[in-house]
Structure 1
Amino acid sequence: MKIIFMGSGNFAFMFLKALLASHHDVSCIFTSPEKPSGRGLEISKSKILALAEKNNITFHTPTSFKKDEVRSIVEDTSADVVVVCSYGFLLPEYVLLSKKYGAINVHPSALPKFRGAAPMQHTILSGDEKSAVCIMQMDKGLDTGDILLKEEFDVGDMDYIELFDFCVDIGPKLLLKALDEIDSLVPVAQDSLDVSPSYASKINKADGLIDWSCDAASICRKVKAFVKWPGAYFFYDSMQIKVLKAQYEDVSTSFVEGTVINDNCEIATRKGIFKPLILQREGRKPLSIEEFKKGFRIKSGSILSS
């Protein structure tokens, strides 16, 4: 099958790799433009652009799909289907309808839960025990199309990195199965499922700030959800400190929320005690709590702001 691939970032890269290793033919690639990065703000080539060049595949980096030339490229490219993976555009109707099998999307959540930009992080934040990878027939809405294939799994105690790795392990196989069996798949409308839709809004750096008025369990979920970026963090003497791993104890205390209750930097919350296990000061490497407190002391009795 001939494919137009649209996607950006590491998640999409893993699916593109699988397509290129399969018997399918990627006709062209749409991805995000190169952006300045690093201290020198030098232009760095993304993994997807490097893979396109390595395989001599034509690529395009539009900033809008409203331009006539972009529409012409999509409509004039010989392909049977458009495969979309973590692209970030709400695609116009001409993209969805221009090919025989339309456009299909890979989405790492149990749709209709967590439609939108950050489904894996929100799955962890919500404490869901199960999730899924879905292959969806795209329509004009935001992740509202019919589900073609779904593979469910237990989330367990996964953090974001572990959940990401799991989804890019099972997801490409599910995508290839959908492409191979596309003529026999039976679409399932999302509104026919006994699940209320929800939305996974984009994560911002400010979302990582820990609110001590939350319960300790939800703060631990924030640590797991944001371990890659932006990190769950608090401030002590105007210094940002990230928590990369933590656990909690579900007990009642009489401490004010945000109080550091001992020399192990255990912190009182609205419900339960939050126990950091790995901490990182700005510009420093991550350290276990035992190593961290040898070189930096957060005074017991301090009250941390949210």
Structure 2
Amino acid sequence: MTFHDYQLTQIDILEAESIHIIREVTAELERPALLFSGGKDSIVMLRLAEKAFWPAPIPFPVMHVDTGHNFPEVLDFRDRRVEELGVNLVVASVQDAIDRGLVREEPNGSRNRIQTPVLLEAVEKNRFTALFGGARRDEEKARAKERVFSFRDEFGQWDPKDQRPELWNLYNGRIHLGESIRIFPLSNWTELDVWQYIAREQIEVPSIYYAHEREVFERDGMYFASNEFCRPRDGEATFTKKVRYRTVGDATLTAAVASDADTIEKIIEEIAATRLTERGATRGDDRVSEAAMEDRKKEGYF
């Protein structure tokens, strides 16, 4: 009798772990939902959810906290992908919250921080007990502190000093009325893992992830697109440059990087060589202070 070695690749192991987490949450918690923005991490999560329950449909809705300051390519992709899968899309609109007086827009025009009350209102309105998020530990210091199951109290707040142990990958999903859990199936993935998985699964992503010519201006060493949401200040000249986005979010805060990577293979080569995370390289909201992300997470942000 001949025995053949059965070996799993790193991507196979990560995929299996994430699918196990998604199934565990669906079995343990009553009303889960998946945050889906049209960004690469949420696209991978949606693919994992699709695999977790195939051939049955995904048994929970997807939700997008819409700041109103989105890149149009990403919104178009979001709507098309949701329609293809036939899943229910819940949109929590920041603009609607501003109109109702729930939140007030900041003087600098950014809507990043005021997403949090909108998210918490949507969780309460839809009675979601668990939210899948695409955060990874390699992105940022505060996210490196997270457990896979991130407990939130009845106010949606996160206490980094009060987290549940996850020995042997055993997860505690017990919650009281009003409490919820944020779930991070991609916790152990890296940006390189995400792109290698996208390549292997031949997953479509929005076009702005690939290098393209765009009108930009430079601010704080980053290239911001000149658009209706983000305009150059006095002394900031616009110019055309070949760039791509490593992450997508609020267009007023998300910068591009100079790049010639117009294929997935080139993106993988580029990411393998870089030593700066995508948030560190392109997110202006993380440069407010050393603890900017952690402060937002304590308030209820992802």
After TM superposition, the score normalised by the length of structure 1 is 0.32
Q: Looking at CA atoms only, which structure, 1 or 2, has the larger radius of gyration?
A: 1
Relative contact order (alpha carbons < 8 A, sep ≥ 6): 1 or 2 greater?
A: 2
Select the structure that is richer in helix: 2
